[in-house]
Amino acid sequence: MGKITVLGAGSWGTTLAQVLSDNGEAVTLWAREEEVRESIASRRVNEMFLPGVVLSGKITPEGGIRAAVEGAELIVSVIPSHGVRGVFSEAGPYIKKGAVIVSATKGIEEGSMLTPSGILLEALKGSGNSIAVLSGPSFANEVSRRLPAAVCSASSSIEAARAVQQAFSTNYFRVYTNSDVMGVELGGALKNVIAIAAGISDGLELGHNARAALITRGLAEMRRLGVKMGALPATFAGLSGLGDLVLTCTGPLSRNYTVGVSVGRGASINEVTGGMKMVAEGVKTCRGASELAGSLGVEMPITNAVRDVLYNGVAPKEAVLGLMTRELKEE
């Protein structure tokens, strides 16, 4: 495909660079942290974010944003949602016309209430670059060890979706195409909020019944908001909806779930996130999603409860009681 660049050298960005290299591609991996660049260049390991995984010699770390994106045919954004706008505003002038931009970020920006692809469209100011979204149930720890996973590549351009599919598909990483960009992005973003709720429930030791109820009703509110935003209902039964939701609500490798467990056991959100190297996107997304749902008149009680626990001083047990004693209604 020519030059390929991955922006963001956290666990997932590094893993996606490895997937691309396993497909025979040379990859430029942009990392902010000098320590990360040095570790990869000298020892072929990202000790900070993906320790224990030996990286391909086809991956070249880079610290300059211009050098990273200039001339690239495929640019993969694995930047936390709150950083996407700033990075692409800086990178925009150096991005080649016709390059495909792939967003592997899951979140909703506070204030603008935009998904990552919407942020990219604004930051790149109508450059005409095709944008695709890569999302699905995929823990970096497992994919980096080449354990089987399946995700989807969504774009309004079928050519772009297929190009991303071809670039990333290996014998352990299967990529399906999809045209519902909004549904795929919202599924990937909102499931992180529900995963925090599931973690809180497990931290409170409320049992498997409670967690199953949260997953099921969480999916219902994800779908409600998605349909209001123009997404297809069926998307939320797919990899980026139900698939990603089940994984993040039940797997101890999920950062959002483990944040919820700690909060359920009595820790404050500042105490939990203060010691984290990596971002738990649901912590910020709960506010953006709640704001978006409110502006559209969409009921999202679980999302609002997570927001209230994390930011408004509501005790986890009080939030659970509020959810259980809401007005009775049809499923």
- Reduced to 3 states (helix: H, G, I; strand: E, B; else coil), residue 28 is strand
Decide: helix, strand or coil at residue 253: coil
- Tokens standing for residue 12: 């997932």
Q: Which of 3, 106, 191, 284 is catalytic?
A: 191
E strands within 149-302? Answer: 149-155, 173-178
Torsion of CA 300, 304, 305, 308, to 10 degrees: 180
191 in active site: yes
Classify 276 in phi/psi space as left (phi over 0), alpha (psi -120 to 50) or beta.
beta
Task: Encode burial over 62-79: b for 16+ CB neighbours within 10 A, e otherwise.
Answer: beebeebbbebebbbbbb
HSE of 232, CA atoms in CB hemisphere, 13 A? 11
Residue pointed to by tokens 């922006």 = 7
Q: Which residues belong to the active site?
A: 191
